[in-house]
Amino acid sequence: MTPTTERRSGATPGSPLAPEACLGSTWFIDSDDPGVREFARRVIDEAGATSDRERAVALFLAVRDGWRYDPYNTSMDPGAFRASSVLASERNWCVPKSVLLAAACRAVGIPARLGFADVRNHLQSEKLRESMGTDLFVFHGYAEMWIDGAWRKASSAFNKELCERFGTKVLEFDGVNDALMHPFDESGNRHMEYVNQRGSFADLPLDEMLAAFAEVYGADWGTSDEAVVDDAFR
């Protein structure tokens, strides 16, 4: 049984989404897991990061490029969304990668939470559009990190190698500015469009997310081969 996650739009002191409330381990963002803690510490040590900004950037890069983007080779088992499980995977998609990034940040004392939005992929292939029945990706996930007195948003979904392969701009995060999906690719073609904000959460709202998936995509979707994964990216 997974916990119910409460959503809030603000971050006032004492609220469920205030920085001090986004530091502890949760069922999905299990930042107290030994593997998650070791991963976060190793990344920071190798980067020589000392400030929260430098730590957050190092962790973002490690999650972005450490797991190849794969939005369809997925499991809807709640356990697969735990940061410790994501850490053991070889490839993954935006939501689990965001959970891992949030957990790694919390493991080193950086408040972190999850943000979600619906995005429209204007470069989606016709093959995938027919399969999904839409070019809308609901509940696209990203991490929000409390750095230097403000929440900074960063999407770690697309690994650098895949971006370079398809001529899509690599998302870079400097710990100062938000790093969300690029609206255009390297050739100036329209790419990702944020069409609906779903809010910020202290833990993964799995039930709400799966209900949205079922409403938009139907129940019959699951694993796919690498060619379809590449179509999803484009």
Are the C-beta atoms of 44 and 58 separated by less than 8 Å? Answer: yes
- CATH code at 80? 3.10.620.30
Give the count of beta carbons closer than 10 Å to the beta carbon of residue 8. Answer: 16
Are the C-beta atoms of 18 and 11 separated by less than 8 Å? Answer: yes
Domain of residue 181: give its range: 15-233
- Within a domain: residue 7? no
| DSSP classification of residue 184 | B
Q: Give me the pLDDT at residue 137, please.
A: 87
Q: Give me the pLDDT at residue 129, please.
A: 66
Q: Give me the pLDDT at residue 42, please.
A: 98
Q: Give me the pLDDT at residue 8, please.
A: 42
DSSP string covering 20-64: GGGSS--SSS-TTSHHHHHHHHHHHHHHT--SHHHHHHHHHHHHH
E-state strands within 85-159: 91-92, 112-121, 136-147, 150-154
Rounded (to 5) percent helix, strand, coil in the chain: 40, 20, 40
Q: Give me the pLDDT at residue 2, please.
A: 40
- Within a domain: residue 2? no
How many domains does the structure of the chain reveal?
1
Q: How many Å apart are CA 70 and CA 24, to the nearest integer?
A: 28
- Within a domain: residue 9? no
- Within a domain: residue 83? yes
Q: Give me the pLDDT at residue 33, please.
A: 98
- Within a domain: residue 49? yes
Q: Give me the pLDDT at residue 221, please.
A: 53
Q: How many Å apart are CA 189 and CA 218, to the nearest integer?
A: 30
- Within a domain: residue 57? yes
Reading the chain (234 residues) residue by residue, the pLDDT tens digits are 343 344 444 455 568 899 999 999 999 999 999 999 999 999 999 999 999 999 999 999 999 999 999 876 677 899 999 999 999 999 999 999 999 999 999 999 999 999 999 998 766 666 666 666 777 889 999 999 999 999 999 999 999 998 898 888 899 999 999 999 876 778 788 778 889 999 999 999 999 999 998 898 886 554 343 433 344 433
- Within a domain: residue 5? no
Structure tokens at 139: 């509940």
- Within a domain: residue 163? yes
What does DSSP say about strands 192-201 and 112-121: parallel, antiparallel, or unpaired?
Answer: antiparallel
Q: Give me the pLDDT at residue 188, please.
A: 84
